[in-house]
Amino acid sequence: MGKLMPLFCLVYFTVCSSPLFTSSLTLHSDIQVLHVMKRCMDLYSIPPNSYLSSWDFVHDPCETTGGQFLGVLCSFPLDQSPSRITAIDLDSAGYEGFITSEIGNLTELTFINLSKNNFRGPIPESISNLKKLTRLSLSNNFFTGGIPLGLNTLKKLESLDISFNKLSGTILSSIGGLRGLTFLSLSNNQFTGRIPDLSGLWQLKTLDLSRNQLFGRLPNFPISLRTLILSHNILSGSLTPLIILKNLRVLDVSNNRLSGAITRDFFTIPKMTRLNVSNNHFKLLEIIRFVGHGAQLQVLDAQQNQLRGHLPVNLVTLQNLTTIDLSYNQFFGHIPDEYGARVGAWRTLYLDHNDLLGRLPAEFIKRPDRIRGSLSNNCLQCPDNIPLCTGRQRKISECQEHRDTN
């Protein structure tokens, strides 16, 4: 029965094409679209006191002043022409059903939010008729199929969120034509292929493409980006294309197949606060000495790479750093004594599963309650009463062997 719903929605619109009211403030065709939208929901999924349950078509959507037609906004023209539906902002009530293709007839819509429900089926191609749309949020549903081909014609779109669905196919390069976008999230879907060049989205502040099946090297991105999340894909190559993104606050490229160096450039991005490069194949971590409070980095996560050499002493010059995870790498030698001076400022430190040797910095022992994390699975002289030392230490010979083979 569920598979017949889209056809039913089309048939219903046809048979209900006669006016619902003898006189109304709202354009009749807009009212009819709302009627079809409600009928395309599975009735059992519309709970009492939800927004959709308030859509009582005895009333006019734009005339009502009570608790009817919640989630609907209208325009009120000064020339006495009919009012139009300008926004549909549904609550997260768990509605189940399809979006009718007739939604494309609501040509004055500027805002659609259907997020956190259980809508299914494709995103209608007719959505490309909504030329005034500035925000489209369909996240946390069960939409399938690809991105509508005509979506790139919505030139006024500023925010597009279709994350947490079951969408598939490739990310078309034409999406780069949405030059008004400031927010774009396609995360937690099943998109494949390469990321197209998105550098033309010159106003984009947030881009989230995480948890898909995207592969290949990193393309060019808009220099306006403040948040870039590409985690949990199959991306490869180096981080070089990201060096020019000097406005970044948050960068997350974790759980990919990226390699090469995490260069000093990323630590000199002036407003970067969070850097997550974990679960990749990086072999080199470059950190220069910082003077003053220029670097804003607070969180550095580089766990589960192939980082080698001595622990970087210059970490202590990043004055705002509070959380560090360098676990599951191939660092060797002693923990620098300078690290001890950062106890308290550093709240979390994970150095476990490396090849570290020798004694701990004195402050690690004197102030064990001021820092949490783990130093386990190294070859350290680690007192049992220190929380950081919880877990086994390996034999010194094992760490020396790993250093020689690496």
pLDDT at 138 over 60: yes
pLDDT at 35 over 80: yes
Read off the pLDDT of residues 147-189 as tens digits, 9 standing for 90 and up: 999 999 999 999 999 999 999 999 999 999 999 999 999 999 9
pTM assigned to the model: 0.92
pLDDT (mean) for 1-29: 52
How much is the pLDDT for 295?
Answer: 81
Residue owning tokens 């995360």: 187
From the candidate CATH numbers 3.40.50.10320, 3.80.10.10, 3.40.50.1000, 3.40.50.1820, the one assigned to the domain spanning 239-406: 3.80.10.10
Whole-number percent of the chain with pLDDT over 90: 85
Q: What distances in angstroms separate CA 332 from CA 45, 210, 348, one per listed residue? A: 58, 32, 20
pLDDT at 12 over 50: no
Tokens matching residue 258: 């990226």
Rounded CA-CA distance 341/364 in Å is: 9
Rounded CA-CA distance 71/64 in Å is: 12
Asked whether the beta carbons of 21 and 28 are under 8 A apart, the reply is yes
Rounded CA-CA distance 348/310 in Å is: 20
pLDDT at 17 over 70: no
How much is the pLDDT for 13?
Answer: 38
pLDDT (mean) for 261-273: 93
Q: Which residues contact residue 385 at a Cβ distance below 8 angstroms, ignoring those fewer than 6 apart?
A: 368
Alpha carbon dihedral 392, 398, 399, 405, in 10-degree steps, equals -150
Q: What distances in angstroms separate CA 122 from CA 44, 145, 233, 402, one per listed residue? A: 21, 5, 23, 53
How much is the pLDDT for 16?
Answer: 35
Asked whether the beta carbons of 13 and 40 are under 8 A apart, the reply is no
pLDDT at 39 over 60: yes
Tokens matching residue 205: 């502040």
How much is the pLDDT for 384?
Answer: 87
How much is the pLDDT for 406?
Answer: 57
Confidence of residue 5 (pLDDT cuts 50, 70, 90): very low
pLDDT (mean) for 16-41: 77
Residue owning tokens 């209900």: 16
Tokens matching residue 95: 């509605």
**Share of the chain residues as helix, strand and coil, in percent rounded to the nearest 5:** 20, 25, 50
pLDDT at 19 over 90: no
Provide the 10 A C-beta neighbour count for residue 176: 18
Handedness of CA 376, 391, 297, 292 (dihedral sign): negative
pLDDT (mean) for 258-284: 96
pLDDT at 140 over 70: yes
CA angle 288, 289, 290 (to 5 degrees): 110
Read off the pLDDT of residues 76-109 as tens digits, 9 standing for 90 and up: 888 888 999 999 999 999 999 999 999 999 999 9
How much is the pLDDT for 291?
Answer: 75
The per-residue pLDDT of the chain, averaged, comes to: 92
pLDDT at 358 over 80: yes
Asked whether the beta carbons of 381 and 394 are under 8 A apart, the reply is no
Q: Which residues contact residue 192 at a Cβ distance below 8 angstroms, ignoring those fewer than 6 apart?
A: 168, 169, 170, 212, 213, 214, 215
DSSP 33-56: HHHHHHHTB-GGG--TTSTGGG--
How much is the pLDDT for 28?
Answer: 94
pLDDT (mean) for 42-48: 94
Confidence of residue 3 (pLDDT cuts 50, 70, 90): very low
Q: Which residues contact residue 89 at a Cβ distance below 8 angstroms, ignoring those fewer than 6 apart?
A: 71, 72, 73, 111, 112, 113
Strand order in the sheet with 355-359: 308-310, 330-333, 355-359, 379-381
Domain extent listing, the chain: 239-406
Q: What distances in angstroms separate CA 379 from CA 107, 374, 389, one per listed residue? A: 68, 13, 11
Provide the 10 A C-beta neighbour count for residue 18: 7
The phi, psi pair for 40, rounded to 5°, reads -85, 0
Read off the pLDDT of residues 205-234 as tens digits, 9 standing for 90 and up: 999 999 999 999 999 999 999 999 999 999
Confidence of residue 404 (pLDDT cuts 50, 70, 90): low
Confidence of residue 2 (pLDDT cuts 50, 70, 90): very low
Residue owning tokens 């779109």: 157
pLDDT at 372 over 70: yes
Rounded CA-CA distance 89/70 in Å is: 8
pLDDT (mean) for 50-62: 94
How much is the pLDDT for 292?
Answer: 65
